[in-house]
Amino acid sequence: MNKVKFIYNPYSGENAIMSNIDEVIRIHQKYGYELIPFRISFDVNMEDAFGDVDETYKYILVAGGDGTVDAAVNYMKKLDIDIPIAILPVGTANDFAKFIGIPGNISKACEQIINSKPKNLDLGKVNDKYFVNVASTGLFTDVSQKTDVNLKNTIGKLAYYVKGLEQLHNLRKLKVKVKSETAFFDGDMYLMLAFNGQTAGNLNLAYKARIDDGLLDVIIVKAGVMKDIITLFIKMLRGDHLENTESLIYFKADKIQVECDEGIVTDIDGERGPDFPLTIECIKGGMKVLGVNMGSKPKVNI
């Protein structure tokens, strides 16, 4: 039988995978695959999931949110495991899985994965860490890290917005220098995002992004008059296009350098990222992914 390493996070989202494990096994057995499960938790190192992975494995199946997928990809790179990865989106936002067209229904997702061929997709990298969807810094970037797991599991994406509102009183200008071959910014900002995907918290911000062009889509929200910033965030929430917005810079680049001395944190796919200075780059074709269906576009859900 063809083996598949099945890594699942029982705490992702609303614990959705726990009531679907039998279905995942059933569908894989139907196609002649043997699932080798590994349950991750707060006291289990995900790296242990890859201890037995060799050429007999066809792919890595990860059930979880963006953070779980991010962790799996980082360990695969660290251990030089060059086999496809597949995603069952059972997290809170599932931004990257939605971007590449993975259905939210577990049965449909399994069928789509098994009946697909691997595609080489871009992968983001910040210093020595990889990310699949977005790297960010500035306002709200530590919201995911600070949001209680139980709160996220109870009210889902709304938890991020609740926590974000709590941080509005911390709004301050942040001095940053951003350099690339296509853009240069040296000034005050509130927020910066570098997208490999398109959405953050299901907000379709990097609507020009492509998953195989070798480029990151970079958005910088410049510090300015509060009424202009509020107008900008309303446009973001509505999913409006952001061209010709004075408070925002949007550009594409394969590599950018970021310097900041403000003592702020960075975030990669909802987890704590590296300290400044940053080298953020796009690794073209950096990962093999199953189940990709780019005919399916992510929706903006608020």
CATH of the domain at 146: 2.60.200.40
- Are residues 133 and 276 both part of a single domain? yes
- Are residues 95 and 34 both part of a single domain? yes
- Are residues 51 and 180 both part of a single domain? no
- Are residues 148 and 223 both part of a single domain? yes
- Are residues 134 and 110 both part of a single domain? no
At residue 248, the pLDDT reads: 87
- Residue 291, in any domain of the structure: no
Amino acid at 257: Q
Per the listing, tokens 């695959």 go with 33
Which residue ranges in the chain fall short of pLDDT 70? 1, 140-171, 225-230, 233, 236-244, 296-302
- Residue 95, in any domain of the structure: yes
At residue 157, the pLDDT reads: 44
Q: In total, how many domains does the chain have?
A: 2
CA-to-CA distance for 286 and 295, rounded, in angstroms?
Answer: 21
Question: The domain containing residue 206 runs over which residues?
Answer: 129-284
- Residue 302, in any domain of the structure: no
- Are residues 111 and 210 both part of a single domain? no
- Are residues 236 and 163 both part of a single domain? yes
- Residue 116, in any domain of the structure: yes
- 203-204 and 199-200 strand pairing: antiparallel
Residue 248, Cβ neighbours under 10 Å: how many? 21
- Are residues 117 and 172 both part of a single domain? no
- Are residues 77 and 41 both part of a single domain? yes
CA-to-CA distance for 291 and 109, rounded, in angstroms?
Answer: 7
Domain termination residue (choose one: 68, 87, 121): 121
- Are residues 176 and 257 both part of a single domain? yes
Model pLDDT for residues 18-28, shown as the tens digit of each residue: 999 999 999 99
- Are residues 136 and 277 both part of a single domain? yes
At residue 5, the pLDDT reads: 98
At residue 163, the pLDDT reads: 47
At residue 214, the pLDDT reads: 98
Domain at 43, CATH number: 3.40.50.10330
